[in-house]
Structure 1
Amino acid sequence: MISTAFAQTAPAAEAAGGASMLTGMLPLILMFVVLYFIMIRPQMKRQKEHRAMIDALAKGDEVTTAGGIVGRVSKLSEQWIHLEISPGVEVQVQRSAVGQVLPKGTFDKNAA
């Protein structure tokens, strides 16, 4: 008797199987869409802004590195910059290590 009842409802369950699979995957798809707009897209925007800042560096700019070193750009190459951190003291760092460009006049050579 039970097998007959299952046999009668089986075709309807198989036809609805495609729709139930879609509704089962809908929360997962929605989660990826939300993840993209909350995490991935803003990170890509920050990377693009950082790349533009690094490309726009010029001699004389005052910068802070990711390690906290503050200095004035004295030389530029494609991958490296030379920072004057004190009168007569220069360090060489990668361009990607620059964290931010400071407003002119922030770094004062005589204040130490």
Structure 2
Amino acid sequence: MTSTSMLYALSSAAASAGGGEPPVWLQFMPLVAMGAIFWFLIIRPQMRQQKQHREKIAGIKKNDMVVTAGGLVGKITKIDEHYCEVELAPGMKVKAVRSTIGDIIPPGGTAPAND
């Protein structure tokens, strides 16, 4: 036997010993796992937060105290489908896009941090 035929015989014996590639679905498992982690840690909580904000904005009514996304605090005097009128000071009213309302201040304000 020549050295070439011996090398061929050894390589074919090694290939038939079961040292082949893993299944294709096993190679995609890390990508699927990363996608699941990304979904549960980032996308899903953000969607939940957006849904809560939409529900809160849908529940705005006249005389509610609100904080706009720009940080202005005022009282709602008029509500439209897309806009609302916010009174920032007595006699000073501004028209704001309804979706830019950041938060609704509960009646009586918030409790102090040390209570």
Cα separation, 2, equivalents of 1:87 and 1:59 = 16
More helix by share: 1
- The question of 1:60 aligning with 2:36 is answered no
Partner of 2:3: none
Q: Percent identity?
A: 34
Q: CA-to-partner distance for each residue in 1:55-105, whole Å, 9 max, x for gaps?
A: 111011100011001000011111111100000001111111111000124
Equivalent in the alignment of 1:3: 8
The RMSD of aligned alpha carbons is: 1.9
Corresponding pairs, count: 103
Deviation at 1:18, TM superposition (A): 5.3
Question: Which of 88, 92, 95 is equivalent to 2:91?
Answer: 88
| Counterpart Cα distance in 2 of 1:5 and 1:44 | 58
Structure 1 residues 91 and 10: alpha-carbon distance in aligned structure 2, compared to 1, 3 A threshold: farther
Counterpart amino acid of residue 24 in structure 1: Q
Hey, what's the Cα distance between the residues in 2 that align with 1:92 and 1:6?
79
For 1:35 and 1:60, the matched residues in 2 are separated by 41
Aligned counterpart, 1:24: 27
- C-alpha separation in 2, matches of 1:94 and 1:83: 10
Deviation at 1:22, TM superposition (A): 2.4
Q: TM-score, normalised by structure 2?
A: 0.79
1:110 aligned partner: none
CA distance in 1, matches of 2:11, 2:58: 69
Larger-gyration structure (1/2): 2
TM-score normalised by L of structure 1: 0.81
Q: 1:72 aligns with which of 63, 66, 75?
A: 75
- In the alignment, residue 89 of structure 1 is paired with which amino acid? M
Task: Give structure 1 stretches of 5+ with no counterpart.
Answer: 107-112
